[in-house]
Structure 1
Amino acid sequence: MQDTLRKMLHAGIGAFSMTREKASQIVNELVQKGQVNQEEAGAFIDDLIKKGEQEREALKQNIKGEVLQTTQNLGLVTREELNQLEARVAALEKTLGKS
Protein backbone atom coordinates (compact mmCIF):
# COMPACT_ATOMS: atom_id res chain seq x y z
CA MET A 1 0.00 0.00 0.00
CA GLN A 2 2.73 2.46 0.97
CA ASP A 3 4.67 1.71 -2.22
CA THR A 4 1.56 2.36 -4.31
CA LEU A 5 0.95 5.68 -2.57
CA ARG A 6 4.58 6.64 -3.11
CA LYS A 7 4.29 5.83 -6.83
CA MET A 8 1.10 7.91 -7.10
CA LEU A 9 2.80 10.83 -5.38
CA HIS A 10 5.84 10.66 -7.66
CA ALA A 11 3.67 10.39 -10.77
CA GLY A 12 1.70 13.44 -9.73
CA ILE A 13 4.77 15.45 -8.87
CA GLY A 14 6.34 14.47 -12.18
CA ALA A 15 3.34 15.92 -13.98
CA PHE A 16 3.83 19.30 -12.34
CA SER A 17 7.58 19.54 -12.16
CA MET A 18 9.33 21.57 -14.78
CA THR A 19 13.04 21.87 -15.14
CA ARG A 20 14.63 25.19 -15.90
CA GLU A 21 15.83 23.67 -19.19
CA LYS A 22 12.29 22.73 -20.26
CA ALA A 23 10.95 26.13 -19.18
CA SER A 24 13.72 27.83 -21.16
CA GLN A 25 12.86 25.77 -24.21
CA ILE A 26 9.18 26.76 -23.98
CA VAL A 27 10.02 30.44 -23.47
CA ASN A 28 12.54 30.42 -26.35
CA GLU A 29 9.80 29.08 -28.62
CA LEU A 30 7.50 31.88 -27.44
CA VAL A 31 10.25 34.46 -28.07
CA GLN A 32 10.78 33.09 -31.58
CA LYS A 33 7.04 33.33 -32.26
CA GLY A 34 7.05 36.90 -30.94
CA GLN A 35 4.65 36.13 -28.11
CA VAL A 36 7.20 37.07 -25.42
CA ASN A 37 10.00 39.59 -25.75
CA GLN A 38 13.58 38.84 -24.73
CA GLU A 39 13.41 41.08 -21.66
CA GLU A 40 10.39 39.24 -20.31
CA ALA A 41 11.85 35.80 -20.97
CA GLY A 42 13.87 35.47 -17.74
CA ALA A 43 10.99 36.52 -15.55
CA PHE A 44 8.65 34.25 -17.47
CA ILE A 45 10.97 31.25 -16.90
CA ASP A 46 11.16 32.01 -13.18
CA ASP A 47 7.37 32.30 -13.08
CA LEU A 48 6.94 28.93 -14.80
CA ILE A 49 9.32 27.26 -12.32
CA LYS A 50 7.62 28.91 -9.34
CA LYS A 51 4.15 27.87 -10.48
CA GLY A 52 5.35 24.30 -11.05
CA GLU A 53 6.73 24.18 -7.51
CA GLN A 54 3.48 25.60 -6.10
CA GLU A 55 1.43 23.04 -8.01
CA ARG A 56 3.68 20.24 -6.80
CA GLU A 57 3.37 21.36 -3.18
CA ALA A 58 -0.41 21.69 -3.46
CA LEU A 59 -0.64 18.19 -4.92
CA LYS A 60 1.57 16.82 -2.17
CA GLN A 61 -0.65 18.38 0.51
CA ASN A 62 -3.80 17.06 -1.16
CA ILE A 63 -2.43 13.54 -1.32
CA LYS A 64 -1.25 13.74 2.29
CA GLY A 65 -4.74 14.82 3.36
CA GLU A 66 -6.39 12.02 1.40
CA VAL A 67 -4.04 9.42 2.87
CA LEU A 68 -4.70 10.71 6.39
CA GLN A 69 -8.45 10.66 5.80
CA THR A 70 -8.30 7.12 4.38
CA THR A 71 -6.17 5.97 7.31
CA GLN A 72 -8.71 7.38 9.74
CA ASN A 73 -11.66 5.92 7.83
CA LEU A 74 -10.06 2.46 7.90
CA GLY A 75 -9.28 2.76 11.60
CA LEU A 76 -5.53 2.33 11.05
CA VAL A 77 -3.10 3.66 13.60
CA THR A 78 -0.50 6.26 12.71
CA ARG A 79 3.23 5.83 13.30
CA GLU A 80 2.96 8.31 16.19
CA GLU A 81 0.14 6.34 17.83
CA LEU A 82 2.11 3.10 17.44
CA ASN A 83 5.19 4.70 19.01
CA GLN A 84 3.08 5.91 21.94
CA LEU A 85 1.64 2.43 22.46
CA GLU A 86 5.11 0.86 22.32
CA ALA A 87 6.31 3.33 24.94
CA ARG A 88 3.36 2.51 27.19
CA VAL A 89 3.97 -1.24 26.85
CA ALA A 90 7.66 -0.76 27.63
CA ALA A 91 6.77 1.28 30.72
CA LEU A 92 4.30 -1.37 31.88
CA GLU A 93 6.83 -4.14 31.33
CA LYS A 94 9.37 -2.20 33.35
CA THR A 95 6.84 -1.68 36.12
CA LEU A 96 6.02 -5.39 36.15
CA GLY A 97 9.71 -6.30 36.24
CA LYS A 98 9.97 -7.60 32.70
CA SER A 99 12.60 -6.22 30.40
Structure 2
Amino acid sequence: MSMMKKALYLGLGIFSVTRERAEKMVSELVEKGEMTRDEAKQVIDDMVTRGEEEKEGMRKMVQEEVDKLKKELPLVSRGELEALQARIEALEQKIGQE
Protein backbone atom coordinates (compact mmCIF):
# COMPACT_ATOMS: atom_id res chain seq x y z
CA MET A 1 0.00 0.00 0.00
CA SER A 2 1.40 3.36 -0.99
CA MET A 3 2.22 6.01 1.57
CA MET A 4 -0.45 8.27 0.04
CA LYS A 5 -3.14 5.64 0.53
CA LYS A 6 -2.04 5.06 4.11
CA ALA A 7 -2.21 8.78 4.79
CA LEU A 8 -5.68 8.99 3.24
CA TYR A 9 -6.94 6.07 5.29
CA LEU A 10 -5.60 7.61 8.48
CA GLY A 11 -6.84 11.08 7.60
CA LEU A 12 -10.36 9.92 6.95
CA GLY A 13 -10.56 7.56 9.87
CA ILE A 14 -11.45 4.29 8.13
CA PHE A 15 -14.19 3.48 10.61
CA SER A 16 -16.35 6.43 9.66
CA VAL A 17 -15.67 6.84 5.96
CA THR A 18 -18.64 7.69 3.83
CA ARG A 19 -18.42 7.60 0.06
CA GLU A 20 -19.15 11.34 -0.11
CA ARG A 21 -16.37 12.22 2.32
CA ALA A 22 -13.87 9.95 0.57
CA GLU A 23 -14.77 11.38 -2.86
CA LYS A 24 -14.29 14.93 -1.64
CA MET A 25 -10.84 14.28 -0.21
CA VAL A 26 -9.65 12.22 -3.17
CA SER A 27 -11.00 14.67 -5.74
CA GLU A 28 -8.78 17.34 -4.21
CA LEU A 29 -5.76 15.09 -4.81
CA VAL A 30 -6.86 14.50 -8.41
CA GLU A 31 -7.22 18.26 -8.97
CA LYS A 32 -3.69 18.78 -7.62
CA GLY A 33 -2.40 16.10 -9.98
CA GLU A 34 -1.27 13.86 -7.14
CA MET A 35 -3.54 11.01 -8.22
CA THR A 36 -5.22 9.86 -11.44
CA ARG A 37 -9.00 9.44 -11.74
CA ASP A 38 -8.59 5.66 -11.99
CA GLU A 39 -6.47 5.60 -8.83
CA ALA A 40 -9.00 7.83 -7.12
CA LYS A 41 -11.88 5.51 -7.96
CA GLN A 42 -9.98 2.52 -6.60
CA VAL A 43 -8.96 4.38 -3.43
CA ILE A 44 -12.55 5.49 -2.82
CA ASP A 45 -13.86 1.96 -3.31
CA ASP A 46 -11.17 0.60 -0.99
CA MET A 47 -11.93 3.19 1.69
CA VAL A 48 -15.65 2.56 1.63
CA THR A 49 -15.17 -1.21 1.68
CA ARG A 50 -12.72 -1.04 4.55
CA GLY A 51 -15.01 1.34 6.41
CA GLU A 52 -17.90 -1.10 6.07
CA GLU A 53 -15.70 -3.98 7.20
CA GLU A 54 -14.56 -2.01 10.24
CA LYS A 55 -18.14 -1.05 11.07
CA GLU A 56 -19.26 -4.68 10.83
CA GLY A 57 -16.32 -5.79 12.97
CA MET A 58 -17.23 -3.22 15.61
CA ARG A 59 -20.89 -4.29 15.51
CA LYS A 60 -19.90 -7.93 16.07
CA MET A 61 -17.58 -7.00 18.91
CA VAL A 62 -20.28 -4.97 20.66
CA GLN A 63 -22.82 -7.78 20.20
CA GLU A 64 -20.38 -10.30 21.68
CA GLU A 65 -19.84 -8.06 24.71
CA VAL A 66 -23.59 -7.60 25.17
CA ASP A 67 -24.10 -11.36 24.93
CA LYS A 68 -21.34 -11.91 27.49
CA LEU A 69 -22.93 -9.40 29.87
CA LYS A 70 -26.30 -11.09 29.49
CA LYS A 71 -24.75 -14.36 30.61
CA GLU A 72 -22.87 -12.80 33.52
CA LEU A 73 -25.65 -10.61 34.92
CA PRO A 74 -28.71 -12.05 36.64
CA LEU A 75 -31.20 -10.66 34.14
CA VAL A 76 -34.54 -12.10 33.11
CA SER A 77 -35.89 -12.07 29.60
CA ARG A 78 -39.09 -10.28 28.63
CA GLY A 79 -40.78 -13.66 28.21
CA GLU A 80 -39.75 -14.77 31.70
CA LEU A 81 -41.02 -11.50 33.18
CA GLU A 82 -44.34 -11.78 31.37
CA ALA A 83 -44.74 -15.39 32.55
CA LEU A 84 -44.11 -14.31 36.16
CA GLN A 85 -46.60 -11.46 35.82
CA ALA A 86 -49.21 -13.88 34.50
CA ARG A 87 -48.59 -16.26 37.42
CA ILE A 88 -48.89 -13.40 39.93
CA GLU A 89 -52.16 -12.25 38.37
CA ALA A 90 -53.50 -15.82 38.44
CA LEU A 91 -52.53 -16.18 42.13
CA GLU A 92 -54.10 -12.81 42.96
CA GLN A 93 -57.34 -13.87 41.30
CA LYS A 94 -57.27 -17.21 43.10
CA ILE A 95 -56.71 -15.52 46.47
CA GLY A 96 -59.47 -13.00 45.74
CA GLN A 97 -61.92 -15.82 45.04
CA GLU A 98 -61.38 -17.61 48.35
TM-score, normalised with respect to structure 2: 0.58
Question: What does residue 50 of structure 1 align with?
Answer: 49
Cα separation, 1, equivalents of 2:33 and 2:54: 27
- What's the % identity of the aligned pairs? 39
**Residues 9-20 of structure 1: pairs in structure 2 closer than 5 A:** 16-20=15-19
* Deviant stretches of 4+, over 6 Å: none
Q: Note the alpha carbon deviations across 1:19-72, whole angstroms, 9 max, x for none.
A: 2110101212333261x3222111211111111111111001101111111121
- The total of aligned residue pairs comes to 81
* Structure possessing the higher radius of gyration over alpha carbons: 2
Paired amino acid for 1:52: G
Structure 2 equivalent of residue 26 of structure 1 = 25
Of 72, 80, 83, 2:79 maps to 83
SS in 2 for 1:76: coil
Q: Which residue of 1 aligns with 2:4?
A: none
Equivalent position of 1:68 in the other structure: 67
Structure 2 alignment gaps of length 5 or more: 1-13, 87-92, 94-98
Whole-angstrom CA distance in 1 between matches of 2:25 and 2:17: 11
In the alignment, the residues of structure 1 paired with residue 50 and residue 29 of structure 2 have an alpha-carbon distance, to the nearest angstrom, of 18
